[in-house]
Amino acid sequence: MRRTVAVVCIALGVFCLTMAPMLRFWLASAVMKTPMDYYSETVNRGEDVTYFSAEEVESIEGATVEAYTTLRADVAASDDEVVVWDQFTWVEDIDRDFAILSTTRRAGHDRVSGEAADCCDASVNDESVAQSGQAFKFPFLTEQRDYEFFDTTSQQTLPIEYEGTETIEGMEVYRFVQVVEPTKVGERVLPKSLLEMGGEGDATTDEVYSVTRTYWIEPSTGVPVNLREEQRRVAEVDGEEQLVLFEGSLEFTDETVDNALETASQSGQITLIRTTLPITLVVVGGGLLILGVLLYVSGRPAPSRRH
């Protein structure tokens, strides 16, 4: 009987030790992939925003502004390695029910690393744009280091720096900050009467954009739990600022943060599959294997003695 129990313990121990690496390296890898049918809606809100209304041809100050963004995966264009997302954003003065601007983006990105892939008719505002660096999210198992992140407005890939660890509603997150220095992103023809330079007629101005972008990332999933953008756009002539086109700080609403936290909550599943269960199986499997060997050895009949 003891030998039977020993064999069972050894078999169970070997099974546990075999399952541990399978969970950590195979099942965890299968779970840590961005879904191919992904869809999300986010809202960034800002108070006391200043912007130039082209419709009313005047500057609006103290506005409450919301930026609505939808992200939808193009399942047909995606595959096992790369998922393609279409993004649409519109920015609105909610008090005046006035649309300030809208943007579109299309990009493929690696389902594990989150890095942009050179494929799939990538574009910004319907113009073909090659994109690189982190596209929409950070990698699964985000590290405490700097990354490269693509800025769609300036169409540059720039560093986004790790600046520390914080907690949002009990969830540990990493804070990353990207600074885009003032960059010309286009031209605007504006009435001289609106500009610092004054005069009659119109003037062609440079549209200069800058932003400080802060992401709070849940590290296991790479999901943004919060996002704040402190953005400024001005019209310049010969390097001299003439008019503020947009200035304000927009951040995820509480509802958007709650939805992001719910999405990021799968981090517990990743930790369970990648760490907790494998360690448990190694400990239990090793214990069963040792117990089985001891039972087997102790259950062997003692050798007979000759007189």
H-only helix segments in the chain: 2-21, 28-31, 254-264, 267-271, 277-298
- Tokens (6 digits) for 89: 């954003």
Give the angle subtended at the CA of 125 by the CAs of 122 and 127, to the nearest 5°: 55
- pLDDT band at residue 152, thresholds of 50, 70 and 90? very high
- pLDDT band at residue 270, thresholds of 50, 70 and 90? confident
| Contact (CB, 8 A) for 37 and 75 | yes
245-257 pLDDT, tens digit per residue, is: 999 999 999 999 9
In the numeric block, the tokens 């113009």 are attached to 127
Q: At residue 281, does pLDDT exceed 90?
A: no
Put residue 303 in one of left, alpha, beta given phi > 0 → left and psi -120 to 50 → alpha. beta
**Closest Cα to residue 151, out of 127, 128, 175, 132?**
132
Higher per-residue pLDDT: 221 or 299: 221
* Average pLDDT rounded to a whole number, residues 215-221: 96
Give every CB contact of residue 5 below 8 A, 6+ residues apart in sequence. Answer: 292, 295
Higher per-residue pLDDT: 226 or 263: 226
Q: At residue 268, does pLDDT exceed 70?
A: no
Partner residues linked to 212 by β-bridges: 179, 230
* Average pLDDT rounded to a whole number, residues 65-78: 97
Q: What is the pLDDT of residue 304?
A: 52
Q: At residue 303, does pLDDT exceed 60?
A: no
Q: What percent of the chain has pLDDT over 70?
A: 86
3-state SS, residue 55: coil
Q: Output phi, psi for 181, to 5 deg.
A: -70, 160
| Contact (CB, 8 A) for 270 and 31 | yes
Q: At residue 107, does pLDDT exceed 60?
A: yes
- pLDDT band at residue 159, thresholds of 50, 70 and 90? very high
* Average pLDDT rounded to a whole number, residues 43-49: 98
* Average pLDDT rounded to a whole number, residues 25-32: 67
Tell me the CA distances in angstroms from 87 to 155, 252, 266, one per residue in order: 15, 17, 23
Q: Which of 215-219, 224-228, 236-240 has the lowest mean pLDDT?
A: 236-240
Higher per-residue pLDDT: 220 or 267: 220
Distance of alpha carbon 256 from alpha carbon 135, whole angstroms: 19
Q: Which of 177-181, 188-192, 209-213 has the lowest mean pLDDT?
A: 188-192
Q: What is the pLDDT of residue 213?
A: 98
Q: What is the pLDDT of residue 307?
A: 46
Q: At residue 157, does pLDDT exceed 70?
A: yes
| Contact (CB, 8 A) for 218 and 237 | no
Residue type, 238: D
Q: What is the pLDDT of residue 245?
A: 97
* Average pLDDT rounded to a whole number, residues 27-44: 85
| Contact (CB, 8 A) for 74 and 84 | yes
* Average pLDDT rounded to a whole number, residues 146-158: 98
Domain map (residue ranges) of the chain: 1-31, 35-270
Q: At residue 86, does pLDDT exceed 50?
A: yes
Higher per-residue pLDDT: 284 or 259: 259
| Contact (CB, 8 A) for 165 and 207 | no
Q: What is the pLDDT of residue 71?
A: 97
Tell me the CA distances in angstroms from 121 to 70, 85, 190, 253, one per residue in order: 19, 11, 34, 31
Q: What is the pLDDT of residue 173?
A: 97
Q: Name the pTM for this structure.
A: 0.84
